Amino acid sequence: MRTRSLLFSKVMEFVVRAAPASAGPSHLMSPLRTWTRRRQLTVLGVFSPFTGQMSGILNSLCSYSKDCRTNYPSMLHHYSCTMASRKDKNLTDTKKAALQVGGGRSLVAFYADNNVVPLPSGHRFPMEKYRATRLMLEEDASMEHILITRPAPFVSVQEILLVHEERYLHSILNGSLDKKEQNNIGFPWSPELVNRTRASMGGTVAAMHSVMLGLRRAAANIAGGTHHAFSDHGEGFCIFNDIAIAARVALEDYSEKCNLDQPILVIDLDVHQGNGTAKIFEGDDRVITFSIQGANNYPWRTRMKSDYDVDLPDETGDDAYLAVLSEWLQKLFTLHKPSLIFFQAGVDALREDSFGRLSMSRQGLLQRNNMVYSACLTRSLPLVITMGGGYSRPSDASVVAHADVYRSAALRYSAMS
């Protein structure tokens, strides 16, 4: 059986590789697409003991089948990356997690809330919103088959070190932060906090692998978006910077071997400026940072310079916000032709938020999310979605808006066929 499975895999590889790019997708990919889909059903049945290995590759091909019309070379790159990763004996936990969940059109969303952090009663951070958001999605019948949730793997120390200084990393891991550093972050140290942080980072890195391996077009983390973390310190409830870590891992893993040949674009739509992310990638033209924020919102003293910053006045509202976003997305995608997108999808621009000042409605935020998804979908760009801020009191309105981020992505991406 193993020989037959291997043989089939080799045949698949040969068919895909043998097709010259110049042949063009129209007459080649149509039969391949049909063949792949038909074959997938047959093979999954016949070679059931090996479907775990096979389904990722087949699903990957299927999920790219429509896209092949415009993105045929990209599919080949993704395919060969997936094959190479499966043979890699030193897989990181984050890459393993992406491969284990496999491919398909449904949205995969990693979560970190299974690592419970003890906070003093009355602490102002809404830790419960993460679990509430996940449960809302898992209990939503319309999400069945189109959204998969998985516990996030822990990020490794080596991955964290791609962004953060060793002294700072170890002071977090062993709890030796001084009082001032701890106050800047806003959480009391605990071993559970370390675990939660590592899972929160790992979810974004695993989501990045999922899209860069071509297993999915979009992948998400129901955590992360910790954009106030700098390389040597944290602030504003952010310890390490998940998007920065995932971007650096992507640059390490995919720049040469795969198709990360254009910059990574970070679209930060949290109401607060992504100051940590801006500083980390200052002067690095491989990562473009774009942030829309409330002009009068935190950070005030530690504001940094993103590649593109858009400050909006208090009470901006839906129409003005969406007009600005639409114009900027067009401009950024045309100018930089990015290879990979990170979306910091904080919902603290919501009218009910206790910090945000932009007065957006739930409907406006939904349109915002869809604008980002459309921009990526029409250009066939891999997308990683992270959670970011949301501070309504009680947290219900924020939780609903956070759930919207993932629900609309699941609906949009699963509808693509």
| Per-state percent for the chain, helix, strand, coil, to nearest 5 | 55, 10, 35
Q: Which stretch binds Zn ion (CB under 5 A): 35-43, 204-212, 264-272, 379-387?
A: 264-272
Nearer to Zn ion, 270 or 318 (CB): 270
**Shortest reach from residue 349's CB to Zn ion, in Å:** 9
Number of chain residues interacting with Zn ion (CB under 5 A) = 5
Neighbours of 399 (CB within 10 A): 23
Show Cβ contacts of residue 5 under 8 Å, excluding neighbours closer than 6 positions: 47, 50, 53, 54
Nearer to Zn ion, 101 or 350 (CB): 350
Nearest alpha-carbon partner for 170 in 194, 186, 206, 146: 194
For residue 183, the minimal CB distance to Zn ion (Å) is 18
Q: Which stretch binds Zn ion (CB under 5 A): 111-119, 150-158, 183-191, 345-353?
A: 345-353
Q: Contact between 389 and Zn ion (CB under 5 A)?
A: yes
1 CB-side CA count, 13 A: 8
**Strands 218-221 and 107-111, how do they pair?**
parallel
Q: Which residue lies nearer to Zn ion by CB, 202 or 236?
A: 236
- In whole angstroms, the minimum distance from the beta carbon of 345 to Zn ion comes to 11
CB of residue 88 vs Zn ion: minimum separation in angstroms? Answer: 37
Neighbour tally for 237: CB within 10 Å: 18
Which residues are 287's β-sheet partners? Answer: 264
Asked whether position 227 contacts Zn ion by CB under 5 A, the answer is no
192 three-class SS = helix
Q: Which is nearer to Zn ion, 146 or 238 (CB)?
A: 238
Q: Between residue 149 and residue 188, which ones bind Zn ion under the rule CB under 5 A?
A: none
Find how far residue 178's CA is from the centre of its chain. Answer: 32
Phi, psi of 257, rounded to the nearest 5 degrees: -70, -35
Closer residue to Zn ion, CB minimum distance, 60 or 291 = 291
By C-beta, is 185 or 213 nearer to Zn ion?
185
* 102 contributes a contact to Zn ion by CB under 5 A: no
CA distance 388 to 269: 9
Q: Which of 67, 159, 235, 348 binds Zn ion (CB under 5 A)?
A: 348
Q: Which window, 118-126, 172-180, 195-203, 383-391, contacts Zn ion (CB under 5 A)?
A: 383-391
HEC per residue, 373-411: HHHHHHCCCCEEEECCCCCECCCHHHHHHHHHHHHHHHH
Q: CB of residue 390 vs Zn ion: minimum separation in angstroms?
A: 8
Shortest Å distance, C-beta 354 to Zn ion? 11
Residue 401 contacts residue 350 (beta carbons within 8 Å): yes
**Smallest separation (angstroms) from Zn ion to the CB of 129:** 12
In the window 270-299, what residues touch Zn ion (CB under 5 A)?
270, 272
Query: Closest Cα to residue 340, out of 283, 272, 255?
Result: 255
Burial classification of residue 22, based on how many CB atoms lie within 10 Å of its CB (0-12 exposed, 13-18 middle, 19 or more buried): exposed
Stretch that binds Zn ion, among 92-100, 144-152, 307-315, 339-347 (CB under 5 A): 339-347
Nearest CB to Zn ion, comparing residues 187 and 413: 187
Neighbour tally for 310: CB within 10 Å? 17
DSSP code string of 107-143 = EEEEE-TTS-----TT-SS-THHHHHHHHHHHT-GGG
- 2-10, 20-28, 215-223, 269-277 -> range binding Zn ion (CB under 5 A): 269-277
Q: Report the residue number, 159 or 270, with the smaller CB distance to Zn ion.
A: 270
Quick one: which segment of 86-94, 255-263, 284-292, 344-352 binds Zn ion (CB under 5 A)? 344-352
CA distance 88 to 115: 29
| Options 25, 224, 274, 346; binder of Zn ion; rule CB under 5 A | 346
Residue of minimal Cβ distance to Zn ion? 389
Minimum CB distance to Zn ion, residue 227 (Å) = 8
- Alpha-carbon gap, residue 267 to 237, rounded angstroms: 20
User: Smallest gap, in angstroms, from Cβ of residue 120 to Zn ion?
Assistant: 22
Residue pair 99/166 in contact (Cβ under 8 Å)? The answer is no
Q: Which is nearer to Zn ion, 238 or 287 (CB)?
A: 238
Q: Would you say 364 or 389 has its CB closer to Zn ion?
A: 389
Eight-state DSSP code of residue 88: -
Q: Closest separation between CB of residue 385 and Zn ion, Å?
A: 15
| Closer residue to Zn ion (CB): 333 or 355 | 355
- Contact set with Zn ion (CB under 5 A): 270, 272, 346, 348, 389
